[in-house]
Amino acid sequence: MKHILIIALLTGMLISPPHTAAIVADHHAQTETDTQSEPLIVAYDPELVPLHMDDGENRGFSLELMDRISEAAGLDIVYEPMTKSEAIAKITDQEIDIILSIPFSEKHSTMMEFTDAVFSTSVGVLTRVDDEDIDVVTDLSESLVALQNETVEYEFLRNIRRIQFQVTSSQRRALDIFIEGRADAFAGNVVTANTLLEQYGLEDEYTFADSHLLHVDYSFAVQRENYSLLNQLNSEIRRMKASGAYSELYDQYFQDDDPFARWLLISVQVAAGLLIILLLLFLISVRWNRQLQTKVEKKTADLNELNHSLLQQIELKRNNNEFLNQILDSSPRGIVTLDKGGKITKFNPQATQVSGIAVPPVHTPYEEVNLVRELLKEKAERVLKGEKVRFLGEHMNWTRSDGHFFQLRYFVYPLYNYDQQINGLILTFEDVTEEFTLRKKLFEQEKNQALSRVVAGIAHEIRNPLSSIKTFVELIPTKMHNEKFQQQISTYVPKEIVRVSELIEGLINYARPRHQTIEVIHVKKLLHECFILFEPTAANKGFEFHFDVPEELFIEADPHQLKQIVINLIINSLDALEEKQAADPAEERNPLSLTLAARKNQHTISIEVTDNGIGMTGDERKKILEPFYTTKSKGTGLGLAIAGQMIEENDGELKITSRKNAGTKMTLIFKASGKE
């Protein structure tokens, strides 16, 4: 069988097609041998015997073939031994010019160009003679196989389940690991394996369970798109095959001088030998048929096992899909998924209920569903084009066709496949109408509490100017003609009336309910209204209240909400100053003060409320925006939580800087308006 195999491999090598499909150069173009400024670097694997041996007497088939090609083509070459992986890396980086004896593969064809095949063999699975457990390749399941990396056999065997691998940089090293007992089998080309076993004197202790696992063609490889050198090598290979020089060199390394082979060759030439060959072939076919039947039965059993495993996996996937559908159908959120083309692939019951349609519009373009079209306006196109953007926690008001009103919070983000490529999008939304209603009630409650404090603070301030006006009015009958009295009454009374008017107007504006309206706000004017509401309170408590706002600052926000935010921050600062006042005697501390200020940055306006009150610890600062968290004995814990929501609704940002017993600075940041 061994001799027949050698003859068959030689025949297969001679008729195998060349791997030169990538050559686009004109075949009729003259190939000139240019004078090389530097020699060509030729890499070879010294462990790949008998193709590369370089032991002085025998250089190896591929090395001698390259010697003859370079001599005939006038190529100046230098050999460098290295592993296959190193050679692939270096030819990709253009550090070497040629790799000897490398199998053609689709993977490597994108990195280099391959010549015609120079040697053909097959990949086999080598086992120990006394190993009866491994007879076919499927028996390798749960076994440890030693083989070389970056080979066709490694790529092939990786597709078989439950095989473990001992991967090395050369076939010799992989065979040594197997012989040392550190692997259950060896996979590699049969010629190299037989040559190494003969060198070790172990050919009787090992056998090939499968010597025709894969057909392998070895070629020479050059750098990507180096078609000039590729044509030179192919021309010389074809010339040597046509002249018989190739066959002569091949016979030198691979011809079997065994007496049986010579007898077989002679028997082919005589008629009497035909009968013997036919008889041998008949006996072999009978034995092969029995072996084939055994293998077919074994493979059938393996296929049945694989089929059973596949059915289990299909059932598991079906159960997983049903479970996923149950989750989607039970979700209180509306869930909609789109494919890459913008068609709806999933529309759960909650989405159907909110959108007000009877049948889920699966396989329908999303633009035909009113609710989905409005939610995905200016968003779906960006996501489906491949932008890795997400839209999280956005809000929209929606009135269904039957007049039912919803306030919706929704999220839009890409849908990825197993390769992490965007192949659609996911839209989720929920009805937060009740949440908004509750938040509005809490807002009004907090506002009323703040209003009570403001009214209490300005009552005394209103009483003072009224007392002054009353005094002047009572003196009119007696001093009406007094020139100095006339001057005083015309100066102080209007001023006191304006003061009372400003206090009452600010109080009315704050108390009047309004819907959110975004408009351009004159920052100084709005902040001054807040300032005059609390200036009397601060003065009555012995605190300094500073106002530092430039004139020409404008932002776009809801003025009513912004005033509520600032008032809330001022009240917190006053509380912090009171707590500091109660804790520290006046002689042991600096004067207590708060400042309401604003300033312009490059593209933003910052509004700052700063105090030197009791301050906060790091933990208190982290929790201060949480609902119902408060450090005050009579606080509700909702003031800053509501303020934070309103800041977010007005596209603003809140930054908090605080240190215990040193003070706090609350900074509101908004985009500057273009009006200025």
CATH number (domain holding residue 370): 3.30.450.20
Mean pLDDT by 10 residues, the chain (676 residues): 43 42 37 60 93 77 93 93 92 95 89 94 92 85 90 87 90 94 93 93 91 90 95 95 91 63 48 84 89 88 86 81 75 90 91 88 91 89 87 86 88 87 91 78 64 58 65 72 73 69 61 69 91 85 92 90 88 90 74 93 92 89 72 62 80 91 93 75
Residue identified by tokens 């489906």 is 384
Residues 503 and 601 in one domain: yes
The per-residue pLDDT for 6 is 44
Which residues, in sequence order, are CB contacts of 170 under 8 Å at separation 6+?
45, 47, 48, 83, 84, 148
Residues 618 and 560 in one domain: yes
The per-residue pLDDT for 537 is 83
The per-residue pLDDT for 262 is 41
Residue identified by tokens 């025949």 is 11
Identify the CA nearest to 607 among candidates 625, 617, 595. 595
434 Ramachandran zone, left/alpha/beta (phi>0; psi -120 to 50): alpha
For residue 268, is it within any domain? no
CATH number, position 558: 3.30.565.10
For residue 210, is it within any domain? yes
CATH number, position 248: 3.40.190.10
Identify the CA nearest to 438 among candidates 609, 630, 641, 625. 641
Tokens linked to 467: 């007392």
Residue identified by tokens 């009572």 is 474
Residues 145 and 290 in one domain: no
Number of domains in the chain: 5
For residue 27, is it within any domain? no
Residues 482 and 526 in one domain: yes
CA pair distance 203, 7, nearest whole angstrom = 20
The per-residue pLDDT for 270 is 67
| Rounded to 5°, angle at Cα 68 from 50 and 102 | 45
For residue 74, is it within any domain? yes
Tokens linked to 323: 């479970």
Identify the CA nearest to 520 among candidates 343, 367, 670, 404. 670
Please give the residue range of the domain that contains residue 112: 2-21+35-119+216-256
Identify the CA nearest to 60 among candidates 249, 313, 189. 249
For residue 263, is it within any domain? no
CA pair distance 265, 281, nearest whole angstrom = 15
CA pair distance 676, 664, nearest whole angstrom = 30
Please state, as a whole number, how many other Cβ atoms lie within 10 Å of the Cβ of residue 49: 24
Residues 339 and 408 in one domain: yes
Residues 320 and 248 in one domain: no
Residues 555 and 482 in one domain: yes
Residues 398 and 512 in one domain: no
Residues 295 and 305 in one domain: yes
**Contact assessment for residue 208 and residue 189, using Cβ atoms and an 8 Å cutoff:** no
Residues 472 and 573 in one domain: yes
Angle of helix 61-73 relative to helix 227-243, nearest 10 degrees?
A: 110
CA pair distance 294, 334, nearest whole angstrom = 58
Identify the CA nearest to 627 among candidates 435, 452, 411, 454. 435
3-state secondary structure 493-554: HHHHHHHHHHHHHHHHHHHCCCCCCCEEEEHHHHHHHHHHHHHHHHHHCCCEEEEECCCCCE
Tokens linked to 588: 């042991």
Which residues, in sequence order, are CB contacts of 70 under 8 Å at separation 6+?
40, 76, 77
For residue 269, is it within any domain? no
Residues 110 and 240 in one domain: yes
Which residues, in sequence order, are CB contacts of 414 under 8 Å at separation 6+?
383, 388, 389, 390, 422, 424, 425, 426
Please give the torsion angle defined by the CA atoms of residues 33, 39, 40 and 46, in that order, rounded to the nearest 10 degrees: 140
Residues 164 and 292 in one domain: no
8-state DSSP, 176? H
For residue 281, is it within any domain? no
For residue 638, is it within any domain? yes
For residue 315, give Cα distances in angstroms to 319, 322, 323, 435, 559: 6, 11, 12, 42, 61
